[in-house]
Amino acid sequence: DGRIMEIRNTADQLQKHLARTGRRVITRFPPEPNGYLHIGHAKAMFVSFGMAAESNGDCYLRFDDTNPEAEKLEYIEHIQDIVSWMGWKPYKITYSSDYFTELHQFAVQLIKAGCAYVDHQTADEIKQYREERRPSPWRERPTDESLRIFEEMRRGMTDEGQATLRMKQDVKNENYNMFDLIAYRVKFMPHPHAGTGWCIYPSYDFTHCLVDILEDVTHSLCTLEFESRRASYYWLLEVLDCYKPVVWEYARLNVTNNVLSKRKLNRLATGGIIRGWDDPRLLTLAGLRRRGVTAAAINSFCRELGITRTDSAVHLHKLDHHIRLDLDASSPRCLAVLRPLRVVLTNLPEDHHATYDAKVFPGRGEETYSVCLTRVVYIEATDFRDHDSKDYYGLAPGKSILLKYAGAITCQDFSVSDGQVTEVRATFTPIQEGAKPPKGVLNWVGQPAAGQEPLEFEARLYSELFKSLDPSDLGDAWMEDLNPTSETVIKGAYACTQLSKAQPGDRFQLERLGYFCVDSDSSSSNMVINRTCTLRESASS
Ligand code: ATP
Ligand code: MG
Ligand code: MG
């Protein structure tokens, strides 16, 4: 019957198309340049670039730039940079707006075929008529009239809001997205890529499928919210007698305690609430990069997610898991303390200076760097208590701990000022063959030379940006859910001299403290280091 003929026809056309492209799979990743890309886009890229790569095909990076209002050159430049940082090589970089001339020709063809008409309803009227399933009073106007007015629209003779071009689809269809969708709007605004040549702009629904055809796309993969627009996608190709790519939808990625909508990200990034689009607390790819996350970790997270059709928020811990796996293998170790507590080793002379070999990758290889032990050293303030107790492995009066790689210290006493422990006094015992070392092993930093303070840095520690799992549940009140302690800045942290060579973007593990990355805010007088993540799920501080 008719339906079967139709399917056979379609299959025939796709076969012809495949023959023409040498049976090569062609996909596209089509971001709108209205913001920075986020981890959801990493999934979208994994799907489209990944599918092309797997089948020896090609994937376009296509800027879906039909809406000149929100689009900016800054975003276009950033997107190219971050796509390549993610490891993807676009076949070509194109713009939907490159095809404005062809799209306009298609529109004229559509009107001539009696499948589009110029409408004068307002947006509100269109909405109301759609709800009442009533056709626009302009729907049956003569083709010539539509052609004439559409040309006037193109030539700037029609005011904004006075006329649209609508596809003559199916007003009785259950699917609202088959109810005469808008193909063109009048907008007197220059375009960031196409320039000043146009004052009519095509809609997403009109553009997307036709540009797929113009680029020989074989598989058009998108997120589930477009599922109800597939009918319109195929309708347009059908009436214009084009082949039909395979259209397939997958679930949008959402991650707990954060937002991914570009509208919301824009609000946070440009509203002075955080440090910009690349704030390390955002799940933008620029934010993750600045935080110290690698593209490999993000892609392996995407691989594990798979290409599902069920929408659900993925827990942040899942991403952290992939970050840790990746950074554990690649990050050199280093000793540092975030909140230094001064320890005087009373049995060492004033000018004591000894160096020890510390392992760059403990348990894996022999590579070392040197750390120096002086009479004054620093341990983590949170590793000291004024009273010892069972199951406590830090330092306390009368108790011994191991300064990693150097030797044991035993606490004698300590000073307090304003309720704060200001100094601890201890004795040092070198590591001895055969002797049983203390159970607690601490990170520490010595002085580069006796009496000289260690390398100081600013540490920025992060936790969830939002308090609730899904801040979008709160509707307009979503900003009230921001976690006031999502960023902790610690000044006056100390690191061993090994770190003095670190450059922005360098990553390492500070032993016991987590994985860190040097921030772009660093200067020669103030090194800033972001914590990418803790070493284990439960660790905080
Ligand atoms: P927003 O609603 O935040 O503006 P968008 O879908 O309009 O997002 P685009 O720049 O148009 O953003 O997206 C480019 C591609 O990435 C599209 O194919 C889109 O489906 C996909 N994409 C966007 N967000 C996600 C997400 N959270 N998970 C998976 N894919 C996504
Ligand atoms: Mg959008
Ligand atoms: Mg979009």
Closest C-alpha among 142, 227, 156 to residue 186: 156
Low-confidence ranges of the chain (pLDDT < 70): 1-11, 539-541
Give residue 8's pLDDT: 54
Q: Could you tell me the distance, in angstroms and rounded to a whole number, from the CA of residue 161 to the centre of ligand 3?
A: 23
pLDDT digits (tens, 9 = 90+) for 139-177: 999 999 999 999 999 999 999 999 999 999 999 999 999
Instruction: List CB contacts of 123: < 8 A, sequence separation 6 or more.
Output: 161
Q: Active site includes 433? A: no
Closest C-alpha among 483, 454, 452 to residue 466: 483
Instruction: Kindly identify the ligand whose nearest atom is closest to the C-alpha of 252.
Output: 1
Nearest-CA residue for ligand 1 atom 4 is: 262
Give residue 369's pLDDT: 96
Look up the pTM and report it.
0.93
Query: What's the CATH fold of domain 339-453?
Result: Ribosomal Protein L25; Chain P (2.40.240)
pLDDT digits (tens, 9 = 90+) for 342-384: 999 999 999 999 999 999 999 898 999 999 999 999 999 999 9
The CB of 208 under 6 Å from ligand 1? The reply is no
Give residue 541's pLDDT: 45
Side-chain half-sphere CA neighbours of 396 within 13 A:
11
The CB of 40 under 6 Å from ligand 1? The reply is yes
Select from 29, 32, 261, 264 the residue to mutate for testing ligand 1; criterion: most ligand atoms less than 8 Å from CB. Answer: 32
Give residue 410's pLDDT: 97
Domain 254-330 grouped into CATH 1.10.1160.10: yes
Give residue 67's pLDDT: 87
For CATH 1.10.1160.10, list the domain ranges present in the chain.
Answer: 254-330
Q: Could you tell me the distance, in angstroms and rounded to a whole number, from the CA of residue 64 to the centre of ligand 2?
A: 10
Q: Could you tell me the distance, in angstroms and rounded to a whole number, from the CA of residue 537 to the centre of ligand 1?
A: 29
Cα(40)–Cα(261) distance, integer angstroms: 9
For CATH 2.40.240.10, list the domain ranges present in the chain.
Answer: 339-453
For CATH 3.40.50.620, list the domain ranges present in the chain.
Answer: 2-250
- Output the average pLDDT for the chain: 94
CA dihedral 129, 131, 132, 133 (to 10 degrees): 80
User: Of 28, 154, 262, 507, which one is the catalytic site residue?
Assistant: 262
Architecture of domain 2-250: 3-Layer(aba) Sandwich (3.40)
Give residue 1's pLDDT: 46
What is the DSSP secondary-structure string of 368-386?
EEEEEEESEEEEEGGGB-S
